[in-house]
Structures are given as C-alpha cells and as structure tokens.
Amino acid sequence: MPIEQLSPELAELIDLDAEIRELGSGYGGGNGPAEGPLWWHEGDYLLFSDIHNDRRMKWAEGEGVTLFSEPTNRANGLTRDLQDRLLACEHDGRRVSRLSRDGERITVIANSFQGRQLNRPNDVVVKSDGSIYFTDPWTFPRPANQWEQPFSGVYRVSPDLGTLTLLAADFTLPNGLAFSPDESILYVNDSRRRHIRAFEVLPTGGLSLASDRVFADLGGARPGVPDGMRVDVQGNVYCGGSGGLWILDAAGQHLGTVVHGHEATTNLCMGGADWQTLFFTTRNTLGSVRLKIAGIPAPTDR
C-alpha cells in the first residue's frame, strides 16, 4: 500500500489511496540527486535542482519537466525572499546567493564566517521578517578535516544582510530546516543521526539552545534519512525517513508514511493553486501526491 497508516489522524491529512505520481526521472545521470523543489505560484510551476548535471529544472502541469537555467554552481536548496527573489544554496560556489527578479544579477548572501569560507551550504528558509536561515554541513567528496570551517553549522543572516550569526555548531550533518506555522520553533534535520531537532526561536531571531530537543527519530530498517522538510498550516511536519516520506504531527508522532518506492526522499515542498500538492524529489526522480491540507507558502505569499 503506497500510504502506510500508523494513526487514524493520518486520514485527516491525506487519502489513504492517494495516487503517487512520478512527474520526471533520470536526473543526475544516475548519480543524482534531484533536490530543492520550490513552488512558484505566480507562474503555476515548480523549480527544482538537478545537482549533478548543474541545472535548474522546471515542471508545469501539461508541459512536464523542462530546462529552466544552467549552470547553477550545482545549487541544492531553493527558496524565495520577501521580494520574490530566488535564493539558492550553491555547492560549487560554497555560498548562499540571490538572483534578481529579472534573472540578470546575483548577490552573495553569505560565503564566509569569521574569515573562513563556508563548507557547502545545503538548504535555506526565510522567516517572515526577511531573515535567512541556512545549513552548512561537511559533505562528500571532501573529508571533514579538509573544510575551512571546523564544524557543520546552522546560520542566520539578518534582514539587512549585514550580520551572519552562527546558531548551532554541534550537528553531524545539518540538512533541511523549517519553521512552525507561528515561527516560534525552528526544526533542523541531522541526517547522519537520522533525527529532527527542534529549537525555540528567540525574539532576536536566534535559537534558545536550552530548548534544544529531539523532535523525532526517523530511523528504521528501510532506506531513507531525514533530508528536506516542510510544515503544513496546522503544524504537521513532512520529512524523508526510513521507508519513504514521513508525516508527523506537531508533537512529533509518526502518523504514517508515503511509500514512493525510492531509496531516499531528498527534499519536498507544498504547491499547486491551493498549496495542497506535496511535491518531492528522490535521488533521480520528481514526484507528487495530493494532501487534504495546505502547506505553508514561502514568506512572500503569507
């Protein structure tokens, strides 16, 4: 069964016989991954990263998947800021960048901390005040001791882009991140440890380290680790895990799993005209499944 139900509450969020659509495949030349899906509501289309092939792809209903732009510095996570500009975590550029609305100018949001180049920014979210949060893990192909930064970090960029703050430095591999609906909690994946951590967000935009807790453990016997992550309007959390794409309630209870048949869920987002289509990427594919509840749009759409 493609939707595994572990709690009766799951049926309030998704039909148990919902169709899991494959929208595209073959990304990365077999090496993958597809990543960073982002719904662009004005154009009614989805953008996503084909990292290994250094391309940004576009999907639209009735058109399928087409090339949107290249090269991208092998960009991974994507989001948008309050002014509808595209933000990207560039693996090869080792930076977070912003593309102007006309697509002509790139602004560097962050590329170093305390005089050392960032490792390899992975995923990024924007808070409703315009501040930017991103993860910067040690990742392959270089061993950890060859990166300039001595840790895998979680960072915040102030709304005026003037201050880069290190929020946490004790992750093994910080990856996807997402806010609760009221932005009082920041969830951050630690993919190697196979769990999601949760922090209370301070009025300054920093994190209360005293509130740090393991929100959910997504490990298991089947393939899959927490990677990209999203939250719906009721605070339910959606994240890759063992066996597929996990759906958890706001307390971290595992309600069920979307079993899409691929080894890993690399990232996901909500989109469509009603924000009730859950798009997800795997190492080589793009897919979707319909929900009964809307996701939280990017800050500009609030």
Mean local confidence (pLDDT), 86-112: 95
**pLDDT value at residue 301:** 46
Integer angstrom CA distances of residue 92 from 73, 96, 111, 118, 141: 5, 11, 11, 11, 12
Among candidate residues 278, 279, 245, the one with its CA nearest the CA of residue 261: 245
H-helix or E-strand spanning residue 126: strand 124-126
Mean local confidence (pLDDT), 270-279: 97
Q: Give dist(CA 107, CA 136) in Å, integer.
A: 18
Would you give the distance in Å from CA 139 to the centre of its chain?
Answer: 16
33 strand-pairing partners:
none
pTM for the model stands at 0.95
Q: Quick one: DSSP state of residue 263?
A: S
Write the CB contacts of 146 (distance below 8 Å, at least 6 apart in sequence): none
What is the number of alpha carbons within 13 Å of residue 223 lying toward its C-beta?
A: 9
**pLDDT value at residue 195:** 97
**pLDDT value at residue 28:** 73
Write the CB contacts of 69 (distance below 8 Å, at least 6 apart in sequence): 55, 56, 103
Summarize pLDDT for 5-44 with one digit per residue, the tens. 999 999 999 999 999 999 999 987 655 689 999 999 999 9
Percent of the chain with pLDDT over 70: 94
Summarize pLDDT for 33-88 with one digit per residue, the tens. 899 999 999 999 999 999 999 999 999 999 999 999 999 999 999 999 999 999 99
Least confident of 12-16, 156-160, 224-228, 269-273: 224-228
Cα end-to-end distance, the chain, whole Å: 35
Give the count of beta carbons closer than 10 Å to the beta carbon of residue 74. 20
* Encoded tokens for 235: 């605070």
B/e letters for 147-186, b = 16+ CB within 10 Å, e = fewer, are bebebbbbbbbeeeeeebbebbeebebbbbbbbbeeeebb
Mean local confidence (pLDDT), 230-235: 97
Residue 101: exposed, middle, or buried by beta-carbon count in 10 A (0-12, 13-18, 19+)? exposed
Tell me the pLDDT of the chain averaged across its residues: 93
Q: Give dist(CA 119, CA 149) in Å, integer.
A: 6
Q: Give dist(CA 300, CA 127) in Å, integer.
A: 10
List of domains in the chain = 3-301 (2.120.10.30)
**pLDDT value at residue 142:** 61
- Sign of the C-alpha dihedral, residues 212, 193, 134, 138? positive
